[in-house]
Structure 1
Amino acid sequence: MIEAEWWEYDSVDELADAVAGDVGFIIESAVDARNASLIAVPGGDAAAIFPKLAKQKLPWKRVTIIPTDDRLVPVDNDQSNAKGIAKAFLPAGARVMPIVSGAAEDYRLAGNAADARLQDLPWPPDLVWLGMGEDGHTASIFSGPDLQAALDAPKARRAVGVMPDPMPEDAAVARVTLTRAAILSARTILITLTGQDKRELLEGAIADGHSSKLPIGRVLAEVDQPIDIHWAP
């Protein structure tokens, strides 16, 4: 059974303050314990929390940040998650490592390249921070022909290329994503989301567990550690 603790806030700003504080604590604890920290962060709505986190006085030079997923676009493209992460955290002194190098003709090969990059990092991550789309995807684990590749990848595999189906209208490109095994290997898993509709969707996915038709439900069904879910209306 999935052990999830819900943290509820009256506003998105209150949620952002709390999550920034929690992530800062995770980073400090990791640096104290291992003299370095590796965290994976999402794009999307979570990016609004980045400035609050980046303002904290943390040992940023010992922190490496990767995207949980990214679109196969150049890193200077506005659709690139790595671009938004770099804008927020490079000035603070963190190391930001993209997992894609640009557009690619073969998204599966792009996934292989991303996996090779991640193999060079000390694993597991101290934190994998997830969001969730209105269709129930998380990271870039979407429904479609590559869902099982992302869910069933071996434990040693850290990233795969995926082609969402149906393709999101706002970003109609292939993606690279952390695998389920890579996500679940994290020392801490944290989810942020807003809105009643998403809350009900996630509650249903958690309740359905392995039988969930939503990617996030299938990912979380395999989780061993407790997860924290931060939610605001």
Structure 2
Amino acid sequence: MIEAEFWDYDSVDEMADAVAGDIGFIVESAIEARGNALLALPGGKTPVPIYQRLAKAELPWKRVTIIPGDERLVPMDNELSNVRALAKTFLPVGARVIPVTGDIADVKLAGNSADARLQDLPWPPDVVLLGMGTDGHTASIFPGADLEDALNAPKARRMVGVTPDPLPPEAPVGRVTLTRSAILSARTLLIAITGQEKRDLLEQAIEDGHSSKLPIGRVLAEAEQPIDIHWAP
């Protein structure tokens, strides 16, 4: 049974304030306990207001490492790059932002390289923040031939290469993504979504659990920790 709690807000701004506050508190607690903090954050438009608020927080940013929860196989200066967006926001405040891809076009090789980079980081992440698409994908765990690779990778595996099927028209490229086990290893798992369509989809995925046809339902069905889901219209 998935233990998930919805937190409802009247606006995206109100949600952004709350999620940024939660992450800031977790960062402070992690640094106090272990001397550093590791965050895995998504790309896309929904989390941008969260990041803007989080970057303004008075935190010991030099002890914070940020990785993208998934990345597109594009150059880091390409506007489709998730790490590019994270770096623009968090490098100026002193955080360490780690790119997970290089100039590797082959999806599987890129996944191996990304995984090797993450093996050098202290694990698990203090926070994994997830979004969700209208097709039920989360991170870059998409429907398609590579779905089972991302879901059933060995527990030690942190990232794999995937090719969504069909390719999303807004970003028709291969990806690397955190595996299900890497996502669920997080000390805190947060989800931030907007719109009634996504809420309905996520509620159904949670209800269906292991039998869900949606990637996010398959991911969350294995969760052992409580999940906070932040939603705004």
The letter of the residue matching 2:10 is D
Matched, 1:164 2:164: yes
Root mean square deviation, CA, Å = 0.6
Name the TM-score, length of structure 2 as normaliser. Answer: 0.99
* CA deviation after TM superposition for structure 1 residue 47, in Å: 2.2
* CA deviation after TM superposition for structure 1 residue 75, in Å: 0.6
Distance 2:25 2:69 in 1: 20
Distance 1:48 1:153 in 2: 32
The letter of the residue matching 2:225 is Q
Equivalent residue, structure 2, for 1:20: 20
Equivalent residue, structure 1, for 2:31: 31
Deviation readout 1:193-219 (Å, 9 max, x if unpaired): 000000000000000000000000000
> Which secondary structure state, in structure 1, belongs to the residue aligned with residue 7 of structure 2?
strand
Equivalent residue, structure 1, for 2:145: 145
Distance 1:20 1:162 in 2: 29
> Which secondary structure state, in structure 2, belongs to the residue aligned with residue 19 of structure 1?
helix
Unaligned runs of 5+ in 1: none
Residues 47, 85 of structure 1: 8 Å contact kept: no
Matched, 1:85 2:62: no
Equivalent residue, structure 1, for 2:208: 208
Distance 1:101 1:204 in 2: 37
* CA deviation after TM superposition for structure 1 residue 46, in Å: 1.1
Equivalenced residues, count: 232
Distance 1:47 1:101 in 2: 24
The letter of the residue matching 2:80 is Q
> Which secondary structure state, in structure 2, belongs to the residue aligned with residue 99 of structure 1?
coil
Deviation readout 1:57-96 (Å, 9 max, x if unpaired): 0010000000000100011110000000000000110000
Equivalent residue, structure 1, for 2:187: 187
* CA deviation after TM superposition for structure 1 residue 105, in Å: 2.7
Name the TM-score, length of structure 1 as normaliser. Answer: 0.99
Give the percent of matched residue pairs that are identical in Structure 1 and Structure 2.
71
Distance 2:182 2:165 in 1: 22
Distance 1:101 1:127 in 2: 24
Distance 1:27 1:105 in 2: 34
* CA deviation after TM superposition for structure 1 residue 189, in Å: 0.1
> Which secondary structure state, in structure 1, belongs to the residue aligned with residue 47 of structure 2?
helix
Residues 13, 49 of structure 2: 8 Å contact kept: no
Distance 1:168 1:105 in 2: 18
Residues 20, 50 of structure 1: 8 Å contact kept: yes
Residues 210, 217 of structure 1: 8 Å contact kept: yes
The letter of the residue matching 1:181 is S
Distance 1:50 1:77 in 2: 19
* CA deviation after TM superposition for structure 1 residue 49, in Å: 1.5
Unaligned runs of 5+ in 2: none
* CA deviation after TM superposition for structure 1 residue 101, in Å: 1.6
Distance 2:94 2:140 in 1: 27
Matched, 1:60 2:54: no
* CA deviation after TM superposition for structure 1 residue 227, in Å: 0.4
Distance 1:130 1:232 in 2: 15
Distance 1:172 1:152 in 2: 24
Deviation readout 1:145-167 (Å, 9 max, x if unpaired): 10000000010000000000011
Distance 2:33 2:227 in 1: 21
Equivalent residue, structure 1, for 2:131: 131
